[in-house]
């Protein structure tokens, strides 16, 4: 959120002075996220200068979708969490790609979006966050769904299946309901803040929502996924692939891919095929 607002102030030609936090843990977190690199910050109380955007996947502003970026995020998370890259890529492709496209299709954000990712090995989870300074859920949905009265209600409504402000050929149309369903299978936590509305889906699958005492000038989506769930899914997938290869050999065909049938025991979460009718931001 802070990075998004700084980028927006830069676009307005404002000079910004930033005093780093005294709390060492907070300062270390911001350093790890690449905050100071992103803004070329090198001393206390010195005006922040806009720098060329870092290639670091920790914190990045995007003016347009870059197809290689989700892969960079997945590979970095894999290296820092011991989760196989293929398993992390499933997560990133289902979540981050859709959300980035939705920002450019719906939000009308003057800064595009800011994205960061973090692996918390001690806490056993991966985190993805994406923030924009766009029009928010309510304004995006009101032209079609005029009954909505608050940002909180707009977020809750947007997560329902089949809800969309408009469509665009760049999106797969997975929508927030697919993201919500996928997070349930991962026992992860999904949080959406848009203007003064906040909606959160807990690891148990139940949801809570509220109207905040402040209004954020855009939308922020945070995702926390347990590492142990991703590891379990990857182990199950490896087992399935081994069973398919063994079955192919027994059938006298060296190509497991050509003859193997899907194992009913597999719990691999692939991208849904028939459940991509519409998309929402």
CATH of the domain at 207: 3.30.565.10
pLDDT digits (tens, 9 = 90+) for 41-93: 764 445 544 444 433 456 888 888 887 888 888 887 777 677 777 777 777 77
Tell me the mean pLDDT in the region 87-105: 79
The answer on 47 and 80 residing in a single domain is no
Number of domains in the chain: 2
What is the span of the domain harbouring residue 7?
A: 1-54
Query: What pLDDT score was predicted for residue 125?
Result: 85
Q: Which of 281, 227, 261 is nearest to 107 (CA)?
A: 281
Whether residue 87 sits in one domain with residue 47: no
Question: Could you tell me if 13 and 70 lie in one domain?
Answer: no
The answer for residues whose C-beta is within 8 angstroms of residue 28's C-beta and 6 or more apart is none
Given a cut of 60, whether residue 280 has pLDDT beyond it is no
Q: What confidence score (pLDDT) does residue 243 get?
A: 87
Residue 185: predicted pLDDT = 84
Residues 14 and 105 in one domain: no
Q: What is the pLDDT of residue 194?
A: 95
How does the average pLDDT of the chain come out, rounded?
Answer: 77
Is residue 181 located within the same domain as residue 98? yes
245 shares its domain with 161 = yes
Going by pLDDT thresholds of 50, 70 and 90, the confidence category of residue 253 is low
Question: Of 31, 54, 77, which residue sits at a domain end?
Answer: 54
**Looking at per-residue confidence, does 220 or 118 come out higher?**
220
**pLDDT at res. 211:** 94
Question: How many angstroms separate the Cα of 227 from the Cα of each of 120, 186, 230?
Answer: 9, 9, 5
**Within this chain, do residues 148 and 218 fall inside the same structural domain, yes or no?**
yes
Per-residue pLDDT at 170: 42
Predicted confidence (pLDDT) at residue 275 exceeds the cutoff of 90: no
Q: Which of 268, 29, 273, 51 is nearest to 129 (CA)?
A: 29
Residue 41 and residue 75 share a domain:
no
Confidence at residue 277, expressed as pLDDT on a 0 to 100 scale? 39
Three-state SS string over the chain comes to CHHHHHHHHHHCCCCCECCCCCCHHHHHHHHHCCHHHHCCCCCCCCECCCCCCCCCCCEEEECCCCCCHHHHHHHHHHHCCCCCHHHHHHHHHHHHHHHHHHHHHHHCCCCCEEEEEEEECCCCEEEEEEEECCCHHHHHHCCCCCCCCCHHHHHHHHCCCCCCCCCCCCCCCCHHHHHHHHHHHCCCEEEEEEEEEEEEECCCCCEEEEEEEEEEEEEEEEEEEEHHHHHHHHHHHHHHHHHHHHHHHHCCCCCHHHHCCCCCCCCCCCCCCCCCCCCCC
Between residues 226 and 278, the one the model is more confident about: 226
Instruction: Tell me, yes or no, whether 68 and 181 share the same domain.
Output: yes
Say yes or no to pLDDT of 168 above 60: no
Query: Do 33 and 83 sit in the same domain of this protein?
Result: no
pLDDT at 259 over 50: no
Residues 67 and 185 in one domain: yes
* Pair (13, 77) in one structural domain: no
């Amino acid at each position: 959120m802070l990075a998004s607002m700084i980028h927006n102030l830069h676009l307005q030609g404002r000079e910004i002075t930033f005093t780093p936090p005294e709390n060492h843990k907070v300062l270390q977190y911001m350093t790890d996220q690449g905050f100071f690199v992103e803004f070329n910050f090198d001393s206390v109380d010195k005006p922040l200068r806009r720098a060329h955007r870092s290639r670091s996947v920790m914190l990045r502003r995007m003016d347009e979708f870059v197809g290689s970026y989700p892969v960079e995020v997945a590979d970095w998370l894999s290296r820092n969490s011991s989760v196989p890259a293929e398993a992390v890529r499933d997560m990133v492709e289902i979540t981050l790609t859709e959300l980035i496209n939705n920002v450019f299709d719906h939000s009308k954000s003057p800064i595009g979006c800011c994205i960061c990712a973090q692996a918390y090995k001690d806490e056993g989870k991966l985190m993805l966050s994406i923030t924009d300074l766009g029009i928010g859920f309510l304004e995006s949905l009101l032209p079609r769904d005029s009954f909505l009265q608050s940002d909180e209600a707009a977020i809750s409504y947007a997560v329902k299946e089949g809800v969309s402000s408009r469509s665009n050929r760049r999106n797969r149309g997975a929508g927030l309901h697919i993201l919500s369903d996928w997070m349930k299978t991962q026992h992860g936590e999904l949080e959406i803040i848009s203007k003064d509305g906040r909606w959160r889906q807990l690891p148990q699958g139940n949801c809570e929502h509220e109207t905040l005492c402040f209004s954020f000038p855009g939308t922020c989506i945070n995702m926390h996924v347990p590492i142990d769930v991703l590891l379990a899914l990857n182990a199950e997938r490896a087992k399935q692939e081994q069973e398919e290869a063994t079955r192919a050999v027994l059938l006298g065909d060296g190509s497991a891919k050509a003859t193997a049938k899907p194992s009913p025991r597999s719990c691999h979460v692939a991208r849904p095929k028939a459940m991509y009718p519409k998309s929402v931001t």
